[in-house]
Structure 1
Amino acid sequence: MGADSIAQAVLFFSLLLAASLWDIQKRIIPDSLCFFILLTGFLTFTSEKLFGILLGLPLLIAALLKEGGMGGGDIKLTAASGFVLGFPLGIAGLILGLCLVILWYWGNRIVRKAERKALPMVPFLGAGFLCVYLFDAGEAFL
């Protein structure tokens, strides 16, 4: 793993953590964080990674179909993370993140009999993206 990859990993992790905390506290993701995540993708840029931006498309469609269901910050963060990861890894991270949010939601509903309310998505999406990123980085060492 080169210096660019290490710098990217540290920045990607830090920016996703900051976005997660911001989403938990304020229920909004600043455009600047999404932009900086996008910029980290240029540290290990390949033309194939451009297709990762398309990861935001399913979330955009969901937002258009159900008002209040998905925020614009979630869409932008997913597209930026897709650019960092590339399309195949980004899809895996998105699926993992969405599975985590579903498990958390239903676990809370069952255990606590919690009411239905919207959850901040970025902590779950970020966890999915980071797991896939770290798994891919681990594969590079093997």
Structure 2
Amino acid sequence: MEALDSEPCGVGIRGVAMAIDSVVWLALFMIAVSAVGAVTGQTVTTASGVETDLSGTPAAIGLGLWLALAIGYHTLAEWRYGKTLGKYLVSIRVVAADGTTPSFGGVLGRNVLRLVDWLPLFYLVGIVAMALSDGQRRLGDRVGDTAVVRT
């Protein structure tokens, strides 16, 4: 595919996209917790609705499943379409650093590193990395050899 002539986008618009994608993350969290609760028998029906209260190993499994689903969501959406729902709604997309379509390995790498970029307080490492980068790239973008650009 030909290289795209697009400008890198900064932390503000990427933050809006991530806020939108947080709604998807919340839905994936609810799915993960409900699935683990159903399998372990820790889901109960009460007068106020269905409740799942995980602790110990089931809670760790629920957390791991949620992280896998969240990373999978970002990876598959960015690899297949160049964007997640949040990126689509704010008109930005993920590209390879040279402007072409990113590889599966590239988007997987950028999304696994999302966990580091997110630390220690809601993308603080990622924001600092972007501020110190020539092309507004967080650590995940550098590892995945990707960039986020306006469409």
- So what's the TM-score if we normalise by structure 2? 0.32
- So what's the TM-score if we normalise by structure 1? 0.33
Q: More strand by proportion, 1 or 2? A: 2
- Bigger Rg over Cα: 2
Q: More helix by proportion, 1 or 2? A: 1
